[in-house]
A and B are shown apart, each in its own frame.
Chain A
């Protein structure tokens, strides 16, 4: 557990973005060269990663958290050697198997078996090594009798299972996974996570990106948080996840203006169990200014699950508001949502005009309640709302109704 398997030292990645597009035709290159023979076109640079430094010990499972665009995927691409860092370096001790996308390189016309060997070769494995693992791969991916059917007849779930199975059963020392667990059903996700755990138990090192914070909390030994390309924090998953939510808890500071009627100065979501964690109450605060007196104003609120389906919604009416600044407060009771991750959208509605405040950027989660009851613990693990049991009864067999034992 002590040896360093992955060390990332001051890695930066810059992209040139578009004021002048890269010359893609000879004509442009020649014309550009003639126009400014001594000057290179100045582009804007976008810093996808800024001076990221951390290391991972052998046998550790490290989660990489961050919002969309924080640089997670770029970091994994650099570690998988798909793209080069602009500055800095990374050292990897051992062979790397990276799964940036499930089923990369699958060819629809080839059979499952042929694709297993193709995928293994893409990950740098020799034929004998793949052959030795073939039975395990087939068993894990559960494709059974379809092994010799062309992959294009597979369901997307089968393709995902096969892709994961190949990467997760090869003899590599380091495994890199990017949001791989987003595909497949809940059952398969659990199987993948268990496999990840087993692999790490065997002394292999795993780096994973996931938006599934529960998975990160349960399976990672450590996590790092990326914010706008910078490494914000590095530590135990629990603390990192709290920070991630605190970061995600939307706080809209820019002013929104709707015609010449209303200006929204800011809005904020607070939850009652620490940053981004909810037990009973969600509070939304909206600071706005009415440029004219408003007779009616509504706030629309919606709670979405992580798959993007709306689960609950409400409109909160506000009475006549005189000209001037106001702070609107709305408290919502937890409608009995099971533990999990949710996002909230808020909009201010004036007649038919909507000012969207959070989009669905504000996320919160309902943590699993701490309990000693082992059955209760299992229930909270993705089994939905805990039903209230009113009465139980045990009856003797074969007797008609009424015979209460």
Chain B
């Protein structure tokens, strides 16, 4: 095969080599693919209702909010019926939050692999994003069909892919961070679900951003997820996107991803000794 085999140098490295690590992730992309496939196969292999379970969670939450806010408090969502309004926010949010909670435990769950085989460890939290994404895609396909059937789907609905892409970026950034945190501190397991819960309420998932009272506006303005979820939903019905907000969020999560990867690599060095 290769006439000049590559030389691998193994030594103690104080400073993480970010680019080298990303190159390794690329070289091991086959592993990423296989792990994603594994998780999906395992998930759908023995549950006949795999797709059903994927859709059930956001639908159940939607029903709860529909009763609480739509029927009891009568929150106004304009021309979009409240259940659809909630679902269009819950689907991307559920993807984001399940992606983070599954990345969080991923390193600890893969400790047997980490102790025995070399591969760029970033693959592990990345590979856990496959299942939440597939669940999201199934839910989104159903949602789009319902929108289209009710003639609510805007012709430019494909614009929703842009905020979706940024939500993916956010999921990778926070997933990487929480995986590294959970491998270092046990408390992370209790902290992250709490943060995610509070965060959901601070994000216009099940209420429109414009009903928030002036004194609480800051919670939305400083929330990098708010413009993404809002814009995703707006794109579906053809309302103008919050371009500036999406830009700020994109910048914020890109910076976060950089920091998270750096922190992850610091944790990675001593992972097999401490897990």
- Interface residues, chain A, CB within 8 Å of chain B? 15, 22-27, 29, 77-96, 98, 100-101, 104-105, 107, 109-110, 114, 117-118, 121-127, 171, 173
* With known contacts A94-B5, A94-B6, A171-B1, A85–B42 Cβ distance under 8 A: no
Residue total for B at the interface (Cβ-Cβ under 8 A): 39
Q: Does B38 reach chain A (CB closer than 8 Å)?
A: yes
When A and B form their complex, what is the total count of cross-chain residue pairs whose Cβ atoms lie within 8 Å?
112
The 0/1 profile, CB within 8 Å of A marked 1, for residues 4-35 of chain B is 01111111110000000000000110110111
* B238 smallest CB distance to A (angstroms): 42
A81, B10: Cβ atoms closer than 8 Å: yes
Q: By the criterion CB–CB under 8 Å, are A87 and B30 in contact?
A: no
B30 touching A77 by the CB < 8 A rule? no
**Which B residues fall within an 8 A CB radius of A?**
1, 5-13, 27-28, 30-31, 33-35, 38, 41-42, 45-46, 112-119, 184-187, 269-270, 272-274
> Which DSSP category, helix, strand, loop or mixed, fits chain A's interface?
loop
B10 touches A92 (CB 8 A): yes
User: Which among B10, B30, B35, B273 has the greatest number of chain A C-beta atoms within 10 A?
Assistant: B10
Give the chain B neighbours of A27 by CB distance below 8 A: 187
* Docked-complex contact A85 and B187, CB < 8 angstroms: no
Most buried by B among A83, A90, A110, A173: A83
Q: Which residue of A lies closest to B188 (CB)?
A: A26
Besides A90-B10, A94-B6, 8 other CB < 8 A contacts? A24-B185, A77-B272, A82-B115, A91-B9, A91-B10, A105-B117, A114-B41, A123-B117
Alpha-carbon distance A71/B120, docked complex (angstroms): 25
CB-CB < 8 A to B7: which residues of A? 91-93
User: How far in angstroms is the closest Cβ of chain A from B93?
Assistant: 27
Q: Which residues of B contact A89 (CB under 8 A)?
A: 9-11
- Expressed in whole angstroms, the Cα–Cα distance for A91 and B34 within the complex equals 29
CB-CB under 8 A from B13, the residues of chain A are: 84
Chain A residues, CB < 8 A from B119: 122, 124
Asked, given contacts A81-B118, A104-B113, A107-B38, whether A127 binds B30 with beta carbons under 8 Å apart, the answer is yes
Within the complex, the shortest CB–CB distance from A208 to chain B, in Å, comes to: 16
A121 touches B185 (CB 8 A): no
Q: Are A82 and B8 in contact (CB under 8 A)?
A: no
Known: A22-B274, A94-B5, A125-B30. A79 touches B38 (CB 8 A): no
A88 partner residues in chain B, CB cutoff 8 A: 11
A82→B10 contact, CB < 8 A: no
Distance (whole angstroms) from the CB of B4 to the closest CB of chain A:
9
Contact check, A109 vs B42: say whether CB atoms are below 8 A apart.
yes
A100 to B116, CA, bound (A): 6
A171 nearest CB neighbor, chain B only: B1
| Contact A122 B9, beta carbon cutoff 8 Å | no
Beta-carbon contact of B116 and A118 below 8 Å: no
- Pick the residue among A22, A86, A110, A125 that contacts B38 (CB under 8 A): A110
A-B contact pairs, 19 of them (CB 8 A): A26-B187, A29-B185, A78-B10, A81-B118, A82-B118, A84-B270, A87-B12, A89-B10, A90-B11, A91-B7, A93-B7, A94-B5, A98-B118, A100-B117, A105-B117, A109-B42, A109-B45, A122-B113, A173-B5
Report the separation of the CA atoms of residues A88 and B6 in the bound assembly, to the nearest whole angstrom: 20
Closest A residue, CB atoms, query B27:
A124
Looking at the assembled complex, report how far the CB atom of B111 sits from the nearest CB atom of chain A, in whole angstroms: 11
Q: A107-B42, A124-B31 are in contact. Are A25 and B113 (CB under 8 A)?
A: no
Residues from chain A with a CB closer than 8 A to the CB of B273 are: 15, 83
User: How far is it, in angstroms, between the C-alpha of A281 and the C-alpha of B8 when the chains are bound?
Assistant: 50
CA distance A125 to B10 in the complex (A): 20
Across the interface, A121 reaches (CB within 8 A) one of B34, B42, B272, namely B34
Question: Complex: how many Å from CA A26 to CA B184?
Answer: 9
State whether A84 touches B41 (Cβ < 8 A). no
CB of B23 to closest CB in A, whole Å: 13
Q: Do residues A110 and B41 form an inter-chain contact, with CB atoms below 8 A?
A: yes
Q: Please state if A95 and B6 are interface contacts (CB–CB under 8 Å).
A: yes
Minimal Cβ-Cβ distance residue in B for A109: B42
Q: Which residue from B12, B33, B117 sits with its C-beta under 8 Å from A82?
A: B117
Most buried by A among B5, B42, B113: B5
Q: How far is the CB of B266 from chain A (nearest CB, A)?
A: 12
Once the chains bind, are A25 and B187 in contact (CB under 8 Å)? yes
Question: In the complex, what residues of B have CB within 8 A of residue A123's CB?
Answer: 117
Separation of A388 and B272 alpha carbons in the complex (Å): 54
Closest Cβ neighbor of A8 among chain B residues: B10
Nearest chain A residue, comparing its CB with the CB of B115: A82
Contact A82 B6, CB 8 Å, known A26-B185, A104-B113, A104-B116: no
Q: Are A117 and B34 in contact (CB under 8 A)?
A: yes
Return the contact of B269 from the options A29, A84, A91 (Cβ within 8 A). A84
Contact between B31 and A122, CB atoms less than 8 A apart: yes
